[in-house]
Amino acid sequence: MMKNSFNDSSAKRDFYGVQLETPFMLGTAQYPSPAILAKAFEQSKASVATVSLRREASGDKAGQDFWRLIQQLNVHVLPNTAGCHTVKEAVTTAHMAREVFGTSWIKLEVIGEEDTLQPDVFGLVEAARILSEDGFQVFPYTTEDLVVADRLVNAGCRVLMPWGAPIGSGMGLNNIFGLRALRAHFPDIPLVVDAGLGLPSQAAQAMELGMDAVLLNTAVSKAGDPAMMAEAFANAIRAGQLAVKADPMVPRDMASPSTPILGKAFLD
């Protein structure tokens, strides 16, 4: 089990009035078994579990057992509108999720393109406005586009979740410049890299860019040892977080000796 702690109040960001114990949000889909899912959360110390309404909407025993397991994890629950392609569908799913899971948090997804699962940013902004006005605390899955981000903030979002790469692709951070620009333009808005991370090193890179948390699922659930991979991601997130606090060096175009030559002995 991971021994190091994330506890550092100076590093915590406020997510709709909640300070997360760790900057790690972990999905709950596609694990080999419920026991392995629980172990992944235990070893990673993830503080948020994302859940799909489709996993819990039915009244069958499997759905009830899944919800009981999630409750036993003792983490914050972030329902999502995964698979929704229209504003109406996303808004309806969000309302159902609030009833089922008893939270106003909602990870808002409005998918606009099938191959990349890229968000429909026009529908996303509209749905975010509707849900924010109805008392939801919206976590929008979006691109790194600055204009879209500004529209989402104006629509009531107090958290932004830009993608790193297409969902489930494992390609990492496809647009470093875009994410860095997003951080610079919205210094006070919590930013969570959501989707596309495949390796712990990519999660560390996201934190080094100044992101406040990362959210992933496939990279852990589809690993040969999901619990070990979850712990690896947790350690990488922590490393990236510490790197930012340590004020890292700025890259140079030329070499600079680490050992000074002043006082060096010269032989004839």
Encode the chain (268 residues) as per-residue pLDDT tens digits. 334 444 443 456 799 999 999 999 999 999 999 999 999 999 999 999 999 876 455 455 666 788 888 889 999 999 999 999 999 999 999 999 999 899 999 999 999 988 888 999 999 999 999 999 999 999 999 999 999 999 999 999 999 999 999 999 999 999 999 999 999 999 999 999 999 999 999 999 999 999 999 999 999 999 999 999 999 999 999 999 999 999 888 888 888 777 766 666 666 6
Ordered domains of the chain (ranges, CATH): 24-246 (3.20.20.70)
Coil, helix or strand at residue 180? helix
Instruction: Extract the annotated binding site for 1-deoxy-D-xylulose 5-phosphate.
Output: 168, 195-196, 217-218
Instruction: Extract the annotated binding site.
Output: 168, 195-196, 217-218
User: How confident is the model at residue 59, as a pLDDT?
Assistant: 53
> What is the reported pTM?
0.88
User: How confident is the model at residue 2, as a pLDDT?
Assistant: 37
CA distance 175 to 8: 29
CA distance 58 to 210: 39
Among 107, 222, 245, 264, the one annotated catalytic = 107
> Do 130 and 105 contact (CB within 8 A), yes or no?
no
Task: Assess whether 245 carries a catalytic annotation.
Answer: no
118: left (phi over 0), alpha (psi -120 to 50) or beta: beta
User: How confident is the model at residue 114, as a pLDDT?
Assistant: 87
User: How confident is the model at residue 249, as a pLDDT?
Assistant: 83
User: How confident is the model at residue 9, as a pLDDT?
Assistant: 38
